[in-house]
Structure 1
Amino acid sequence: MKNYKILGLLLLWGLTLSVKAQLRSDSLYKEYYRPQFHFSPEKGWIGDPSGFIYYQGKYHMFWWGKVESKDLVHYKQITPYAMTGQDHNISYFTGSVVIDKNNTAGFGKEAYVAAYTIFEKDSKKQAQGISFSHDGEIFHYYEGNPILDIWSTEFRDPTVFWYEPTQRWVMVVAKALEKKIKFYTSPDLKEWTWMSDFGPAGDNEKSWECPDLFQLPVDGSSKEKKWVMVVSVNWAREQYFIGDFDGVSFKLIENHPKEPLYVDKGLDFYASRTFQDFDETLESKISMGWVATWDYAQLVPSKYGKGFWSIPRSLRLKTYSDGIRLTQTPIEQLQTLRYNKVSMKRTIPVGTRLLSEFVPRENVYELETSFSTDISNTFGFNLCVGEGRKVVVSYDTDSYNLVIDRTHCADVAIPKFDRMTYANVKPVDNKIRLRIFVDKSSIEIFANDGRDVFTLLTYPGEAQTGIELFAQKEGTKMELNAWMLKSVWR
């Protein structure tokens, strides 16, 4: 009888655990404000992308943890914390990951090697270190760290890549308050030699950090390629430079504008990283960024944790009348999430009206639209409408200004959050084209095939799902395709 009682208790205990697990599964990734087609970790904080590679048919993405994906649409979190072996006096700051195919570092052929900033808590010093892994999941601290130390408190965020012409590793790393990017080279990822500095240039108001350097074809040509350097500035946004790199130094192209070229003109896009393709099979360069700004990143109201990454973007260089510029477009795989398509063509009536043809149940959808600009007018969308709040997306055909105002959107008070942004976006063939992705707590807008991009957090209430169309004058024509988007978690 005693054994039956024990068996009964074990069965009851197992059933209880099963019920708890099911309840957890049912609620996970359905939390208030949780994005449904952006990556966010199961719980906790996520910050800068810190190592993006494509290897053995999978995308590997690191922060303090690791996530993998086969399509950059669906994600599998592998570990919440990948690094081991450090003492309690240091923290890991932003970095990158490479595959050491030829065992240059001696950790083994095709070892994963992470390069990152070691932050000493007592001295506040920042130096560069490495860790290695044989499975891409758990990284072991290199006992010879730091591998690069100039005794600075503002020396951080290395991106490391293999430069084939010189058969050497290259590191680009920021000297933050000097607004400089320093270039180093190494044969083995352990011994580093300084080569050159770049900067200050463009936006050099406060700080530079999180540099990335990569090569892109110009206008799709295999004969003409340029290097793009992306730098996060002022703890708030990113700028980019276009130039040439010879393994030693980075030089701007002729007639490069002196004014800053910003990667994203919204309010919340930072510290992006591109995927290094170690399979050499990807057709385009892809990047993702941190959807946050340091002014309020730790204060947003999400309960599962803090922060998420942008949708993946394909990067290209395109020649315009004012020069070569970076363009960003959402990866095509995102189209697999579309359902319940609505299409329409019409002349926008004067005033503001509800878009009754497309009424989303939740803020998880995509809009693809074009507006005629051949008559003088101001028009646009109100998004996340409800409970007296909204996000205004407005275009003025006379000034060419695209204005995004989220001043009255969030359903909770967030310090320094009530802001607006704008940029000069010129029509193409008398049309302004917008592709808009709305997720639970963010909006990403790609204007004119991604020449201008705007990313912003929103944090609306669950009832704020309305869409309104408005125009000040008669005559503006609109074409619209709209889709609901499936959750990548359900």
Structure 2
Amino acid sequence: MNFRYSLIVSLLLGLSITGFAQKETPDYRPQYHFTPPKNWTNDPNGLVYSDGKYHLFYQYNPFGNQWGHMSWGHATSTDLINWNHLSLALPEYNNADGSESMIFSGSAVVDKQNSSGFFTKGQTNGLVAIYTAFVHRNLAPIYQHQNLAYSGDDGKTWQYYKQNPVLDLKSKDFRDPKVFWYAPQQKWVMTVSKADRQQAYFYESHDLKSWKFMSRWGRAGNTARVWECPDLIEVSVQGEKTKKWVLFISSGNPQELYPGMQYFVGEFDGKSFKPDQAYEEPEYVDFGKDFFAGVTFNNAPNDRKILLGWVNDWEYANDIPTGGEWRGAFSVPRELSLKRTAKGFELIQWPVSELKKGQKEAFSTQNLKVTSNYEVPFRGNIFDLELTLKPQQAKVFELKLLQSTDEETVLRYDVSEQTLSLDRTHSGNVSFNPKFASVEKVRVPLKDGKLQLRVLADKSIIEVFAQNGEKTLTDLVFPLKKEGKLSISSSGGESVINLLKINSW
């Protein structure tokens, strides 16, 4: 590690656990979505629960607010909403041959049985991080291989395994290991991406150090871009005692119609993954532009499956106008389940229940008829909104958020098409990148003639959950004005709002 890196890392390690000294960016820094205290972040990494705390590691640049010098930042929480910022966990480093290694994405596990031998006898809470080292010279790629680091003090300090790498194919596109404990065969399983082949590779180990290849699967769904950030988990089916395996893949955003994450439902026998269907057409996790690299927490209590994603898009990620200090945020943690349908199993996502803690009702109404435009008596840019409506004779229904004079972010439902769209073309600052202004659309059929929405607004983040989490849309917005008006309109006929409830903090 050279002197400049050593100096910066020393400064970071000396900071208080309450976070960096910072100048708050009042316009766009979210209140209940995680952001780094300063500088750049992208993928969430090493999500793990241990000793009553959720650990969030994340791709982080200690030196600036654009991508580079990838290392792992670190924060912890007891409720998944309020995060305690900790010192830098895994900094990039120099290699003996003069190359450098950035710390790319990966996972973390609690080595309860000390299978690795890294910890003292009897210790059951040792943490092991499994990450991709991006080996390069002046950013020219050499290899991507899998490595270990370990911590015996609840993630406060870390040591790199002296015999790294533990898995190396001499490839430039081999990354993002997600490791979990497979109890039926008492072993560790790694899902890792062979990115350029659009395949997930599966390995097994009994000590986290020696890995044996088992199988590979892929080239289904969206193969237009490289595959990244795989995650294989077992998810409960609603209303049943059944569980199914779900494989998540992040696959870029090659054009407007391609969201960034897809999923496949099937079976895993400890060796190979077999999907339930051919998946010639992709199944997407989120239909907005700004949800990517989502992964789940290992070891979460009560077998909870909790997904966290990066709220951004590589097409404009380095340009978003969040101010000079910080850049990048994460979604609200989402609880996952599956729903059995005639077409197969459908992923259901819902904000974790902890989000309701501390909320207060700001406005509510029921059985309200809307024939043209209704100005909601609420102002704000931080809220949790629930809406159930019956379009009746209406052809189009619109919920306009964060309105200020000529600015608005519009949720639009087309009754004949039964599609829900999120329109940010007039949301405020859309000129910082030509690919930012957009309208995202997803088919959302009515249920018993009704549309149910939950909308989370947090200054610069909009997350939409439709029909109790069957479809989601996540987008960034950057309003230039601060009036925060909210209105509802119905065109072509009358709509009935069965329930409108707005909570704030």
Report the equivalent of 2:338: 317
1:190 and 1:98 map into 2 onto residues whose CA distance is: 13
1:13-62 per-residue CA deviation (whole Å, 9 max, x = no partner) reads xxxxxxxx9xx999755533100110111111111011111111111111
> For residue 156 of structure 2, what is the amino acid of its counterpart?
E
Contact 1:29 1:36 in 2 (8 A): no
1:345-396 per-residue CA deviation (whole Å, 9 max, x = no partner) reads 34444434432x2222xx1011100110343520121111114111111001
SS of the aligned residue for 1:298 comes to: helix
2:462 is aligned, of 438, 443, 467, to 443
1:245 and 1:73 map into 2 onto residues whose CA distance is: 32
Structure 2 unmatched runs, 5+: 1-15, 59-71, 254-258
SS of the aligned residue for 1:333 comes to: helix
Report the equivalent of 1:175: 194
Deviation at 1:175? 0.8
Report the equivalent of 1:390: 408
> For residue 120 of structure 1, what is the amino acid of its counterpart?
V
Aligned residues: 457
* 2:391 is the counterpart of 1:369: no
Deviation at 1:162? 1.1
Matched ranges for 1:281-292 at <5 A? 281-282=301-302, 284-292=304-312
SS of the aligned residue for 1:149 comes to: coil
1:119 is aligned, of 121, 128, 134, to 134
Report the equivalent of 2:442: 423
1:158-204 per-residue CA deviation (whole Å, 9 max, x = no partner) reads 00111112221111011112100001111111111111111110111
Deviation at 1:338? 1.7
Report the equivalent of 1:41: 36
> For residue 315 of structure 2, what is the amino acid of its counterpart?
D
Bigger Cα Rg = 1
Deviation at 1:111? 2.0
1:47-91 per-residue CA deviation (whole Å, 9 max, x = no partner) reads 101111111111111111111111112111112344476546110
1:243 and 1:375 map into 2 onto residues whose CA distance is: 41
* 2:102 is the counterpart of 1:102: no
Report the equivalent of 1:243: 266
1:187 and 1:26 map into 2 onto residues whose CA distance is: 43
Matched ranges for 1:229-378 at <5 A? 229-235=247-253, 237-253=260-276, 255=277, 257-277=279-299, 281-282=301-302, 284-303=304-323, 304-355=325-376, 357-360=377-380, 363-378=381-396
Report the equivalent of 1:3: none
TM-score normalized by structure 1? Answer: 0.89
**Aligned-residue CA RMSD in angstroms?**
2.1
Report the equivalent of 2:102: 91
Report the equivalent of 1:17: none
Cα 1:480–1:411 shift into 2, 3 Å: farther
2:28 and 2:88 map into 1 onto residues whose CA distance is: 21
1:25 and 1:342 map into 2 onto residues whose CA distance is: 36
Deviation at 1:137? 2.2
More moved, 233-242 vs 446-455? 233-242
1:240-265 per-residue CA deviation (whole Å, 9 max, x = no partner) reads 00010011100012x46431110011
Deviation at 1:412? 5.5
Identity %: 37
> For residue 71 of structure 1, what is the amino acid of its counterpart?
D
1:185 and 1:283 map into 2 onto residues whose CA distance is: 22
Contact 2:220 2:278 in 1 (8 A): no
1:412 and 1:228 map into 2 onto residues whose CA distance is: 35
Structure 1 unmatched runs, 5+: 1-20
Contact 1:53 1:275 in 2 (8 A): yes
1:80-139 per-residue CA deviation (whole Å, 9 max, x = no partner) reads 344476546110100000111111111014321111111111251111111111121222
1:140 and 1:277 map into 2 onto residues whose CA distance is: 22
1:485 and 1:343 map into 2 onto residues whose CA distance is: 12
Cα 1:205–1:424 shift into 2, 3 Å: same
Contact 1:347 1:475 in 2 (8 A): no
2:407 and 2:367 map into 1 onto residues whose CA distance is: 26
TM-score normalized by structure 2? Answer: 0.86
2:132 and 2:51 map into 1 onto residues whose CA distance is: 27
> For residue 242 of structure 1, what is the amino acid of its counterpart?
V
Cα 1:86–1:103 shift into 2, 3 Å: farther
Contact 1:377 1:398 in 2 (8 A): yes
